Amino acid sequence: MGASDPEVAPKARGGAAGMAGAGAGAGARGGAAAGVEARARDPPPAHRAHPRHPRPAAQPSARRMDGGSGGLGSGDNAPTTEALFVALGAGVTALSHPLLYVKLLIQVGHEPMPPTIGTNVLGRKVLYLPSFFTYAKYIVQVDGKIGLFRGLSPRLMSNALSTVTRGSMKKVFPPDEIEQVSNKDDMKTSLRKVVKETSYEMMMQCVSRMLAHPLHVISMRCMVQFVGREAKYSGVLSSIGKIFKEEGLLGFFVGLIPHLLGDVVFLWGCNLLAHFINAYLVDDSFSQALAIRSYTKFVMGIAVSMLTYPFLLVGDLMAVNNCGLQAGLPPYSPVFKSWIHCWKYLSMQGQLFRGSSLLFRRVSSGSYFAVE
């Protein structure tokens, strides 16, 4: 998954950003515990030694700080919070679906409209392929406005399953309390915590990706049916039956490996780069150091998502390759033997970043698949 994908990248960035908040909360809990310990070592005042004034008054507040009640996702509020996250995720997914739909059609090489002549920043005439808005208008002309949401149902189910899976894993394998360390003198300790933190996030991302990937494959195939005007994949249940009958169990997991590799590279790249920048380049004496550190992971997420985009592209192409649809067969695409074969082919064509830009798309020699 390429992290630039509107479905995958925001979750990883959100998870990475959430780690800092968790670390700060753990630091507060650690400070509270230290205060309780210090009070326990000091001799109690005379009026507190009286039986009517017992000292263990700090215990209720300690329980509150541990998140036993009242916090998001804790106690009785956990089901409500999880349902809220699923609902919010569904709304964002629905709004961003036309963007993903157009991107996928461009990724498979479907260019139904001729390029137009324009000028670049140097004033030279160049050929531009249709932008997202032009492409979306074309889809509306062919299928109507509802056509922009082809394949949305399995994608909503995939995102909901991913969100529920991550929430369930946090309950079964709760993350350790991690303090946030920013001093350069604590570099080894801080790096060890970042590694532990990222490993935990990677485990959750990989498990949720594997469980939701079959629905992702169905969603991709429903969308690329626009190319050949097919109706092979119409519903989730019928699509499951077709894939299992024609490709077996492995058919639900085509394209999974490049997506997993993209997720792993994104998480480690984003977190480690943000950590080293915050530790070595942002001086604690700078007045805006805290504000800069809070945005480091966000900026690194955008940069790393661009670098991992080829994993997303290869994974999506493999999900629709040689599945009986016109978009996954010549002349749109060769029949790839593996995702490595697909990667090498795109690399030779100079098309590893095809579809990454939806506004200014210049015509290049490898804009289309050329298969005899």
Query: From first to last of its 372 residues, what are the pLDDT tens digits of the chain?
Result: 444 444 444 444 444 434 433 343 434 444 444 443 444 444 444 444 444 444 444 444 333 333 333 344 444 566 787 788 889 989 999 999 999 999 999 999 999 998 888 887 788 888 889 999 999 999 999 999 999 999 999 999 999 999 999 989 988 888 765 444 444 446 566 888 899 999 999 999 999 999 999 999 999 999 999 999 999 998 899 999 999 999 999 999 999 999 999 999 999 999 999 988 888 887 777 777 777 888 888 899 999 999 999 999 999 999 999 999 999 999 889 999 999 999 999 999 999 999 998 887 887 655 444 332
Closest CA to 100 of 131, 138, 132, 129: 132
Whole-model pTM? 0.73
* Integer angstrom CA distances of residue 351 from 17, 22, 309, 329, 333: 31, 40, 11, 17, 13
Measured torsion, CA atoms of residues 324, 327, 332, 335, in degrees rounded to the nearest 10:
-40
pLDDT value at residue 364: 66
CA-based diameter of the chain, in Å? 94
Tell me the C-alpha distance between 154 and 271, whole Å. 31
